[in-house]
Homo-oligomer: A and B are copies of this chain.
């Protein structure tokens, strides 16, 4: 039996008890994890320093920033665990209940997904976020972080498992894969006997590889080629504010705007003002021929850019003849994460909101709100860009399945 299969069997065993564990015990365990994270800050920082020492020689400053833990970041991680603990328990909720004419009583009841595998990259806070969300919804988890964060992740998991032990929960509700080579990720993708779901969190390459190769059911997360459509009836000032916020407030995240589509009737007024405003943050514009005609100073976009996610201070700009052209463009190039229409015309808004098939569609608001915390779902395990099971931010409530509980007095068919 391989190491991962052994972990899988231990997780299944842990999940069987966690499945029938009371809400109060799960809450207590999460509170204990939060306290333990705060109590063990020095140990976690020391482990993080080992990772940082190795990283300083080879990683980019932004990667190092993602990897770095500080006292206040660990306190935030603990607070996130506490926030999850206070979330209502989704397990056992009766989703539907009825009596059939033959006397059978049916309750469709929420149950945990089971064992959730999570493959992620270099952010150590993912370790405690994901573990807390999984446990709250009654799931055991097998975490495989990136090798750059291995010492940090191992220290965080060790602290969390000690806390589980103190509260009497099976420590194997949380397990960390120690082998951070590519082969352990590949083995997880085939671990159908033990994993009920696999969630990849990280860059586009990781996600594509998991989606293409996994035999375990996957929830695809993440990539966001998000569009803002500035309609001919847009309030130009509102459009500018929304676009500026969606593009520049945090360009490295998946809900940041990557493209602006501007109606031809408003473009001559809007584009120069937009270019001036975005220049405050040195945003580089890449335009189609029509927008380049209005803004001769900008670069021309390559064909393949319309489907790409810059994750940087770069914005693609295209002029469209109609709302239909905007909707068609989004249908063709979007990753179906978040799209927005800015307009004062309610019927145009209704048309856009009904026709655009993305996880979140906005009228007159920034795409940056596609986030579990912002939408009131609490912490999130990722943002689903597929349509099966869950779409958009996935919080505790999305980490459950259901089963039919049917009671009778001898009914046969």
5 pairs of A and B residues whose beta carbons are closest in the complex: A365-B408, A245-B412, A387-B401, A389-B389, A368-B413
A3 in the interface (beta carbon within 8 A): no
Task: Name which of A141-149, A178-186, A347-355 contacts chain B.
Answer: A347-355
Chain B residues with CB below 8 A from A401, complex form: 387-388, 391
A197 in the interface (beta carbon within 8 A): yes
Q: With A362-B406, A389-B388 as given contacts, are A376 and B412 in contact (CB-CB < 8 Å)?
A: no
Contact B413 A19 (CB under 8 A): no
Report the separation of the CA atoms of residues A359 and B111 in the bound assembly, to the nearest whole angstrom. 10
- Minimum CB–CB distance from A251 to chain B (whole Å) comes to 13
Task: Name which of A27-35, A71-79, A210-218, A296-304 contacts chain B.
Answer: A210-218
Contact B392 A196 (CB under 8 A): no
Task: Say which residue of B19, B192, B246, B349 sits within 8 Å of A407 (CB atoms).
Answer: B349
Contact A365 B217 (CB under 8 A): no
Task: Name which of A98-106, A120-128, A310-318 contacts chain B.
Answer: A98-106
Which B residue sits closest to A393, measured CB to CB?
B404
Contact A100 B366 (CB under 8 A): no
Report the separation of the CA atoms of residues A113 and B212 in the bound assembly, to the nearest whole angstrom. 20
Chain B residues with CB below 8 A from A391, complex form: 401-404
A16 in the interface (beta carbon within 8 A): yes
Chain A: number of interface residues, binned into ranges: 35 or more
Contact A249 B413 (CB under 8 A): yes
Which B residue sits closest to A356, measured CB to CB?
B403
Task: Say which residue of B20, B388, B389 sits within 8 Å of A354 (CB atoms).
Answer: B20
Task: Say which residue of B238, B362, B368, B387 sits within 8 Å of A113 (CB atoms).
Answer: B387
Contact A98 B357 (CB under 8 A): no
Report the separation of the CA atoms of residues A283 and B354 in the bound assembly, to the nearest whole angstrom. 56
A114 in the interface (beta carbon within 8 A): yes
Chain B residues with CB below 8 A from A98, complex form: 376
Which B residue sits closest to A401, measured CB to CB?
B387
Which B residue sits closest to A214, measured CB to CB?
B215
Report the separation of the CA atoms of residues A413 and B245 in the bound assembly, to the nearest whole angstrom. 7
Which B residue sits closest to A104, measured CB to CB?
B365
- Minimum CB–CB distance from A150 to chain B (whole Å) comes to 29
Task: Say which residue of B357, B363, B407, B411 sits within 8 Å of A408 (CB atoms).
Answer: B363
Report the separation of the CA atoms of residues A19 and B356 in the bound assembly, to the nearest whole angstrom. 10
Report the separation of the CA atoms of residues A407 and B363 in the bound assembly, to the nearest whole angstrom. 5
